[in-house]
Amino acid sequence: MENSEIIYGKNSVMEALIAGNREINKILISKNIHTDVKIAKIKELAIQNGVVFQFVGKEKFQPYAEFNHQGIIAQVSPIKYIELEDFIAQKSEEFRSLVILDGVEDSHNLGAIIRTCVCAGVDGIIIPSRRNVQVNSIVEKTSAGAINHIPIIKVNSLINAVQKLKDNNWWIIATDASANDNYYDVKYNDMNFVIIMGAEHAGVSKSLLKASDFIVKIPMQNDFNSLNVSNALSAIIFETLRQKLALKNNNSNR
Which is nearer to a second copy, 124 or 155 (by Cβ)? 124
Q: Does 224 bind a second copy (CB under 8 A)?
A: yes
Q: Does 14 bind a second copy (CB under 8 A)?
A: no
Candidates 103, 112, 120; CA nearest to 138 is 112
Distance in angstroms (rounded) separating the CA atoms of residues 253 and 92: 24
Q: From start to end of the chain, where are the E strands?
A: 5-8, 24-30, 53-56, 72-76, 97-102, 125-128, 152-155, 170-175, 181-182, 192-198, 214-217
Distance in angstroms (rounded) separating the CA atoms of residues 82 and 146: 16
By the 8 A CB rule, do 208 and 159 touch?
Answer: yes
Q: Does 10 bind a second copy (CB under 8 A)?
A: no
Q: Which of 119, 159, 191, 199 binds a second copy (CB under 8 A)?
A: 119
Candidates 81, 65, 108, 87; CA nearest to 192 is 87
Distance in angstroms (rounded) separating the CA atoms of residues 17 and 49: 8
Q: Does 92 bind a second copy (CB under 8 A)?
A: no
Q: Which of 159, 199, 211, 241 binds a second copy (CB under 8 A)?
A: 241
Q: Does 228 bind a second copy (CB under 8 A)?
A: yes
Q: Does 175 bind a second copy (CB under 8 A)?
A: no
Q: Which of 1, 47, 202, 220 binds a second copy (CB under 8 A)?
A: 220
Cβ at position 248, least distance to a second copy in Å: 11
Cβ at position 64, least distance to a second copy in Å: 17
Spatial CB neighbours of 90, under 8 Å, sequence gap ≥ 6: none
* Helical packing angle, 107-120 and 229-253, nearest 10°: 0
Q: Does 248 bind a second copy (CB under 8 A)?
A: no
Q: Does 251 bind a second copy (CB under 8 A)?
A: no
Residues that bind a second copy (CB under 8 A): 11, 15, 108, 112, 115-116, 118-121, 144-146, 149, 182, 184, 218-222, 224-228, 230-232, 234-235, 237-239, 241-242, 245
